[in-house]
A = this chain, B = another copy of it.
Amino acid sequence: MADSSTNMRLRLPLLCIILEVILIILFGVLVEYNHDTDAKKWNENGTHTAHEYQNEFYYRYPSFQDVHVMIFVGFGFLMTFLQRYGFSSVGFNFLIAAFSLQWATLMQGFFHGMDHGKIHVGVESMINADFCTGSVLISFGALLGKTSPVQMLVMAVFEVTLFAVNEYILLTLLGANDAGGSMTIHTFGAYFGLVVSRVLYRPTLEKSKHRNSSVYHSDLFAMIGTIYLWMYWPSFNSAITKYGDPQHRTAMNTYYSLASCTLATFAFSSLLSHDGKLDMVHIQNAALAGGVAVGTAGEMMLTPAGSMIVGFLAGTISVLGYKYLSPILEKKLKIQDTCGVHNLHGMPGVLGAVVGAVTACLGSKEVYGDGLKKVFADSESASWSASNQGGMQALSLAVTLGMALFGGLLTGLILKIPIYGAPEDTHCFEDGLYWELPGEEEDHTELTEVATQNEVEKLNS
């Protein structure tokens, strides 16, 4: 799969420019401001009975910004743990996300209902586009260090498209709930990436093994990503729920789930690690599984204690996955999962889907009162029943897994064509291939005129 040359000079610029030109043309033809964003529509006499504070912007924009931070700082810095791949982690994350959110706006707009042949955009499309981008970045996590930026952009083209198809099937055709994306984002992104990684299997990757690890400072940079993901996850899960109690409840459920998950993570990391010492990989990743696992049920009446139980389970299986399952995946199934997305997004995503299906089965007018229709949009229809909803949720998980496996296989095969400048097995996890690296610190001997030798030593430190 490695190419004779990893030089990006023509491939990357050409691809970026072509993609952006296509995006601009399609946006020009298809995309319009929606009612809350358009100067004319929002201010039309007659239909405009709403006050300014009812503009969707005020309900959703703060959540959008939190999600935005998760996508660019959260995912970007979480992946800087590698000692020599920080530029690529945060830089390619930036590139892939900037492309994906534009492409996702089109694909989601196309599938989720165009009006008079136009896609109408507002803050909710921005959140949905960021969500779809999150899925691509999860797949990127599985492939981190072993692919070229060109490969990742090509992957994004396909993954975003299939994400939109899967999301359409789940939310529109099956009527499933998945506000925080346990299925659409996490399960889909993780298994898609894992299958791509399987197709791109590198039998001699151990030649780059010495770079596939962290150093002290890179782990601290990664903790910036972790903590931002952890803090803003309540906003992520609640960003596109209905206004009022569902948004409020989802944020709170996620908050409790994550807190509980964190204690489970520290407990099992210490229990299973060498000498009872904590493992940064677990803290950086498994502590977040609680957010993934309430991505579907978070908007439901899961109760705070229920959320905490789910969070605890998620943290536990995630640490166990890092400890026991990842080595098996690599050795037996030949799946090289750089960031362990199977442990952070894969298994917790499936757990979240199952919890969502079970919680949906328990949905009733008794528990939700008139709020039932805000959580389950179809509940007003005569044919709706909680167990039906639960069934659709379970079916949604199956569809998602199928789409991810099929899509990952297809995309993996496309990415295997040796034209994208992928690194050799000996040069994985190395920024130097794609970035001009700065030199080392100068030794400042010029300073000796004015500084004591001691000071010079300090300066060099």
B55 engages A245 (CB within 8 Å): yes
User: Given A210-B444, A305-B31, A374-B39: A7 and B275 within 8 A (CB)?
Assistant: yes
Is A173 interfacial (CB-CB < 8 Å)? no
Contacts of A14 in B (CB 8 A): 267
Residue ID in chain B nearest A218 by CB atoms: B438
CB distance from A96 to the nearest CB of B (A): 10
Rounded to whole Å, the gap between the CB of A383 and the closest CB of chain B is 21
Q: Which residues of B contact A271 (CB under 8 A)?
A: 9-10, 13
Main secondary structure of the interface of A (DSSP, over half): helix
Contact assessment for B244 and A40 in the assembled complex, using a CB-CB cutoff below 8 Å: no
Selecting from A84-92, A195-203, A392-400, A403-411, the interface stretch reads A84-92
B260 contacts A24, C-beta separation under 8 Å: yes
Q: Is A140 an interface residue (CB 8 A)?
A: no
> A227: which B residues are within 8 A, CB to CB?
72-73, 76, 90, 94
Which of A175-183, A278-286, A329-337, A352-360 faces chain B?
A: A278-286
Contact B255 A211 (CB under 8 A): no
A259–B101 contact, CB under 8 A? Answer: yes
A323 at interface by CB-CB < 8 Å: no
Contact A215 B262 (CB under 8 A): no
A368 to B42, CA, bound (A): 10
Q: Which residues of B lie under 8 Å from residue A386 when comparing CB positions?
A: none
Q: A8 touching B276 by the CB < 8 A rule?
A: yes
Q: Are A273 and B436 in contact (CB under 8 A)?
A: yes
**A351 is an interface residue with CB less than 8 A from chain B:** no
Does B121 contact A371, Cβ atoms closer than 8 Å?
Answer: no
Residue contact B215 to A441, C-beta cutoff 8 Å = yes
Which of B122, B369, B432 meets A41, CB within 8 Å? B369
Mark interface residues in A371-397 (1 if CB within 8 Å of B CB, else 0): 110110000000000000000000000
Residue of B91, B99, B308 touching A263 (CB-CB under 8 A): B99
Question: CB-defined interface of A88-126 with B at 8 Å, one 1/0 digit per residue?
Answer: 001100110011011000000000000000000111001
Contact partner of A37 among B252, B367, B370, CB < 8 A? Answer: B252
Chain B residues whose C-beta falls within 8 Å of the C-beta of A12 in the assembled complex: 266-267, 270, 276
Contact B126 A255 (CB under 8 A): yes
Judge if A258 is at the interface, Cβ distance under 8 Å: yes
Per-residue interface assignment for chain A, residues 225 to 261, with 1 indicating a CB less than 8 Å from any chain B CB and 0 otherwise: 0011011101100000001111111011001101110
Q: Is A460 interfacial (CB-CB < 8 Å)?
A: yes
Stretch at the interface among A57-65, A163-171, A184-192: A57-65
Closest to A12 in B: B270
CB-CB < 8 A to A56: which residues of B?
Answer: 248
Is residue A3 contacting chain B, with contact meaning CB distance below 8 A? no
A207–B280 Cα distance when bound, in Å, is 27
Contact A73-B228, Cβ < 8 Å, known A54-B53, A277-B435: yes
Asked whether, in the complex, the Cβ of B211 is within 8 Å of the Cβ of A13, the reply is: no
Type the 1/0 row for A406-420, where 1 means its CB is closer than 8 Å to any CB of B.
Answer: 000000000000000
Q: How far is the CA of A458 from the CA of B214 in the complex (A)?
A: 12
Is the Cβ of A457 less than 8 Å from the Cβ of B440? yes
CB neighbours of A436 from chain B (8 A): 273-274, 277-280
Q: Are A43 and B245 in contact (CB under 8 A)?
A: yes
Most chain B beta-carbon contacts within 10 A, residue among A8, A44, A216: A216
Within 8 A of B (CB), among A24-60: 24-25, 27-28, 31-33, 36-45, 48, 52-59
The reply to whether A231 and B69 contact each other, CB–CB distance below 8 Å, is yes
Q: Is the CB–CB distance between B262 and A370 below 8 Å?
A: no
Which chain B residues border A371 with CB–CB below 8 Å? 38-40, 42-43
Residues of chain B within 8 A of A223, CB atoms compared: 76, 90-91
A125: nearest residue on chain B (CB-CB)?
B252
Residues of B within 8 A of A277 (CB): 8, 433-436
Q: Whole-angstrom distance between the alpha carbons of A211 and B439 in the complex?
A: 11
Closest Cβ–Cβ distance, residue A272 to chain B (whole Å): 9
How many Å lie between the Cα of A8 and that of B273 in the bound state? 10
Asked if residues B57 and A248 are in contact (CB atoms below 8 Å), the reply is yes
Against B, the Cβ 8 Å flags (1 = close, 0 = not) of A10-27 are 101110110110011101
Provide a sorted-by-A list of 5 A–B residue pairs whose CB atoms are within 8 angstroms.
A10-B276, A20-B308, A43-B245, A91-B283, A217-B217
